[in-house]
Amino acid sequence: MSSSEILIKARNLTKKFGSFTAVDHINFEIYKGECVGFLGPNGAGKTTTVRMIHCFWPLTEGELYVAGFNVSTQACEIKRIVGVAPQEDNLDPDFTVIKNLQVYARYFDIPKAEATKRAKELLKFFQIKEKQDVLISELSTGMKRRLILARALINEPQILLLDEPTTGLDPQARHIVWDEVRSLRKRGVTIILTTHYMEEATALCDRVLLMDNGKIIEQGNPSALVKKHIGAEVLEIDNDEKLLQTLKAEFPAARFEAFGDRIHVFTMQPHGVFERFLERNSLTHVTIRNANLEDVFLKLTGRRLRD
């Protein structure tokens, strides 16, 4: 459960690469026991932020504290209590599955017997125990991802940083990762993840921070953000001028957005308004669906491709 104890605190956190500002004076707090998602289009600054939390990149400006330790002066203390699953696959292809964990454990001075015990437990937890003696090249993408998660936990971290933990996974593998993340959270691990999947953020995160162009542009609980920015439901209709005029008359405050040859209608209104409208006007080719975090994401960051 989350508490009100602040575990990570960023003030004017800034990272520049040359003259380019990747993270631009951001402020945030992460509370103990939370699962928090950093969302945002490609290049928003999510990975750079995560990398500053685990002392990979020095800050250009600002302050960042992790469990009370200053990232600029107490990297050793922080690395001991943080686990990191990076965005890219950086497993060692020359080692077996279990050896990858044992070698990683050396960075934390974990004695060999203890490292092997933990490695076996983690491989069991992540459902890859039967693969412990095979080389990395023999693992599926989902297994590699789960091994990276296992590796991130070898030092029994209080804080787990997961950078796009399920990118490229099929739905089965993604759901296994979700179950594992939930069960780690239940054990009290504070989790920060980045993701492009709004469904994932909704399923896992107590709170999300939405980044764009190096800034945090919105934050909050996923369903509260949906309610605040979109409302309860979205109506999707074929692009038809007569129908549009009827809708505009009925919902003068609504927002209409073209999406290919479909129009999405956002009203901020509660459940049921679209259904009653449809009943009064016998309409076909319309869909009422629940508003979701992706609607919020697209509203706040736009539809322009970023890379």
Q: Which residues bind ligand ADP (CB under 6 A)?
A: 17, 20, 22, 40, 42-48
Indicate the residue among 47 and 267 with the shorter CB distance to ligand ADP.
47
Choose the contact partner of 40 out of Mg ion, ligand ADP, none; CB within 5 to 8 A by kind.
Answer: ligand ADP
Amino acid at 73: T
Indicate the residue among 12 and 42 with the shorter CB distance to Mg ion.
42
Return the sign of the alpha-carbon dihedral for residues 143, 145, 148, 154: negative
Q: How far is the CB of 163 from Mg ion (least distance, A)?
A: 6
State the burial class of residue 7 (Cβ atoms within 10 Å of its Cβ: 0-12, 13-18, 19+): buried
Residue number, nearest CB to Mg ion: 47
Q: How far is the CB of 151 from ligand ADP (least distance, A)?
A: 20
**Do residues 125 and 150 make contact, with C-beta atoms less than 8 angstroms apart?**
yes
Choose the contact partner of 202 out of ligand ADP, Mg ion, none; CB within 5 to 8 A by kind.
Answer: none
CA distance 242 to 1: 51
Counting contacts by CB under 5 A, is residue 202 touching Mg ion?
A: no
Choose the contact partner of 44 out of Mg ion, ligand ADP, none; CB within 5 to 8 A by kind.
Answer: ligand ADP
Q: Which of residues 45-104 bind Mg ion (CB under 5 A)?
A: 46-47
Indicate the residue among 164 and 233 with the shorter CB distance to Mg ion.
164
Q: How far is the CB of 38 from Mg ion (least distance, A)?
A: 9
Burial 105-138, CB ≥16 within 10 A → b, else e? beeeebeeeebeebbeebbebbebeebbeebbee
CA distance 190 to 181: 10
Indicate the residue among 48 and 190 with the shorter CB distance to ligand ADP.
48
| Structure tokens given for 251 | 């919902």
Q: How far is the CB of 166 from Mg ion (least distance, A)?
A: 13
Return the sign of the alpha-carbon dihedral for residues 103, 112, 192, 31: negative
Q: How far is the CB of 154 from ligand ADP (least distance, A)?
A: 24
Q: What is the DSSP letter of 251?
A: -
Q: How far is the CB of 163 from ligand ADP (least distance, A)?
A: 7
Choose the contact partner of 22 out of Mg ion, ligand ADP, none; CB within 5 to 8 A by kind.
Answer: ligand ADP
Indicate the residue among 47 and 190 with the shorter CB distance to ligand ADP.
47
Indicate the residue among 43 and 220 with the shorter CB distance to ligand ADP.
43
CA distance 144 to 55: 24
CA distance 272 to 259: 23
Q: Any residues with CB less than 8 A from the CB of 166 and at least 6 apart, and which?
A: 145, 173, 174, 177, 178, 195, 197, 200
Indicate the residue among 33 and 45 with the shorter CB distance to ligand ADP.
45
Piece of 44-52, 99-107, 255-263, 280-288 that binds Mg ion (CB under 5 A): 44-52
- Please report where in the chains the tokens 């500053």 appear, as a residue: 52
CA distance 254 to 238: 16
3-state SS assignment for residue 104: helix
Piece of 14-22, 43-51, 65-73, 179-187 that binds Mg ion (CB under 5 A): 43-51
Q: How far is the CB of 196 from ligand ADP (least distance, A)?
A: 9
Indicate the residue among 166 and 267 with the shorter CB distance to Mg ion.
166
3-state SS assignment for residue 54: coil
Q: Which residues pair with 85 in a beta bridge?
A: 162
Q: How far is the CB of 122 from ligand ADP (least distance, A)?
A: 26
The footprint of Mg ion (CB under 5 A) covers: 46-47
